[in-house]
A and B are shown apart, each in its own frame.
Chain A
């Protein structure tokens, strides 16, 4: 057999064997990855970013106009497709929100969606952007924050979003910023993502890095001259607190934004304009939603007023386009509908979704 053919066959056989073993042991990946409810505290948004990368290929199969929802954790929790779909039967509801996303990451999620969705299917579709002041955090601040970025990324000092980080699994085919991704025909991109998706169930059984199981060996910290029996076992860690101090959470968000004088930078608003323009050129109508916040959060946060003013100003600039609108839901939810400083209580998700569905259904 010719050498190059043998190399190709060997590569193909090894990949096929790996995929087959993965499917046999862990089962086929779910057609749609779950829009999971956040568990606090968290430092990894891996699964949500993977959902944006891999679930977006399902947009090609939508038989109805799309309702594509982008945003961060409050959007993810407040508007699950299971709650919204019955209320908006004329749309195919898809939520690609990612925890702690900023507008840059929302823009990348839109790129993934536009790659997959059929151009004809985008006509009459609607893009819903769940906005609040934390999504306007600067890239340099968000993607290097030690509380919500992995230690390896902080060590590298790179400013890459969770989508781009997860896309490094196969950058030419998964990273919306990669030229190969942009040039690859949509059907080929979908096939490649569908094939690689077979490996996703394996991820939940693996550590972040192959060295992690070795590093987890408890005796690395054990002194070699001290007998093992003489060392008292470490006490079990305390169970995580079930009660979240909402005020402390708001203070954390204030520190997280990290801007001098609490002025929001222009960077993310420029990305928002670019995002809206991209969606409009694809034929989608855009609804920017000012998300619900508890009343005390709106008055006490040093960022909320500036954000709302800047958002209104930005949308006013875009309002010459009849396909762009701003909906203010900030006061649509009583404080009892929140479980903390910004996220919906489980029992209030239906109410959140109903409020959004009512607003979206209003005539343009």
Chain B
């Protein structure tokens, strides 16, 4: 069952009916967890995959109980190690293939997001341990079906508050309209724009793989980024809209990422809940630990740069288990650390006023932004090329061919960015205009699906 299938709509209808027709006090303790369990079974690649996730949840629950009782740093480290080992084993990382039954691990779904939620829960519980923790609440948090497959990632305390408020939640006209606006926009992004950009990306990829064609290679990188945005942002819109119908206010995942001015700015606007997690639970502790080792002010930039590298390297690894994702991590880490080091040095060298003047001038902004996006497109190529394809591409194009592809991409971005930056970001719309737009989007979806029958496969981020 995928989110764009009829089966999902049937499931949604059933979940809504149970949620709103059954006694409201049943919602947090029975209805919501039951719908999570049903959803898990429906989307899991196999029954054993669903069972594996439930066992993983049971393990997490035991570790949480242990963490609350023990309250020591060694316990936290041990619990995190077990969680990460379990994740690595279930995900099938090659370097953990020595573990027993590695070859028999069932395929699961949403595991990477469950990992993030469980690390968050373990760390936050250790820092502010509650008297006790409700297993049903923890189950609801870890397996919350609207965001099981690919997020967004909510903080536990936010979720707990919203879950507690579920019995008193009432579905009013305004909530329904807000939900419809997000859901319809989401399906428009996924089914129309996402499908169109997917066809473009795959077609250009075929041309780029058929011979040494730098234009096609550069264009396929850009097409992939656009496709990924509309596919993932569309999914997020649907999920946030669905959450509204159940009293959940899920966090936003995107904040106009194509208005970013630098590599790091982009990651502050793209998949924000994941970036926020890595910033809070990886970057900050890493930077603090490194600063304690080397407290001298001369080493501050170096420590932060190293922390950026480590954090983004882990972002790459989190996406997948093969060597392609190691390369992705290295590229992301390099980009983040170089961006941070460069920005810091520039600010120190120019002073604040001159730095602000320079970084607001179009002659600087356009090439800097074009460079950032070009590097970004390059660094995420391992998400859509296997290690063998990467190696074959390197061999086919050589260094000069690859440079040429990136140069072409850079030039196109350089020409487009000044125009793009001039476009005003839209503000909130009046309700009547939003309704007209919803109707138009529905018609566009229906017409597009009729004229260009679905060629798309899985929603892209579902594989992570």
Contacts and interface: CB of A to CB of B under 8 A. Distances in A.
B85 interface: no
B96 interface: no
Nearest to B436: A10
B55 interface: no
A281 interface: no
Contact of B216 (A14, A209, A221): A221
B173 A3 contact: yes
Interface residues of A, number: 44
B14 to A, nearest CB: 14
B214 A223 contact: yes
B52 interface: no
Interface string B144-165: 0000000000000000000000
A222 B215 contact: yes
B180 interface: yes
A211 B203 contact: yes
The 4 closest A-B pairs by CB, nearest first: A10-B439, A14-B443, A211-B199, A211-B200
B436, B438, B453: which has the most chain A beta carbons within 10 Å? B453
Contacts of A152: 455
B203 A6 contact: no
Nearest to A169: B450
Contact of A215 (B204, B436, B440, B457): B204
Interface residues of B, number: 43
A7 to B, nearest CB: 5
B117 to A, nearest CB: 32
B295 interface: no
Contacts of A14: 439-440, 442-444
A7 B439 contact: yes
B199 A224 contact: no
A219 interface: yes
B215 A215 contact: no
Contacts of B180: 7
Contact of B177 (A3, A166, A203, A220): A3
13 contacts: A3-B177, A6-B435, A9-B439, A10-B438, A10-B440, A18-B443, A168-B449, A199-B447, A209-B455, A215-B199, A220-B204, A221-B215, A224-B408
B196 A169 contact: no
Interface in B379-435: 404, 408, 431-432, 435
Given A6-B432, A215-B204, A220-B216, A13 B439 contact: yes
A209 B198 CA distance: 10
A336 to B, nearest CB: 41
A364 to B, nearest CB: 42
B443 A166 contact: no
Interface string A181-203: 00000000000000010010011
Given A215-B207, A220-B204, A11 B449 contact: no
Interface string A158-181: 000000011011111000001010
Given A202-B451, A223-B212, 10 more contacts: A3-B431, A3-B432, A7-B435, A12-B439, A13-B439, A169-B449, A169-B450, A215-B204, A219-B215, A223-B214
B451 A206 contact: yes
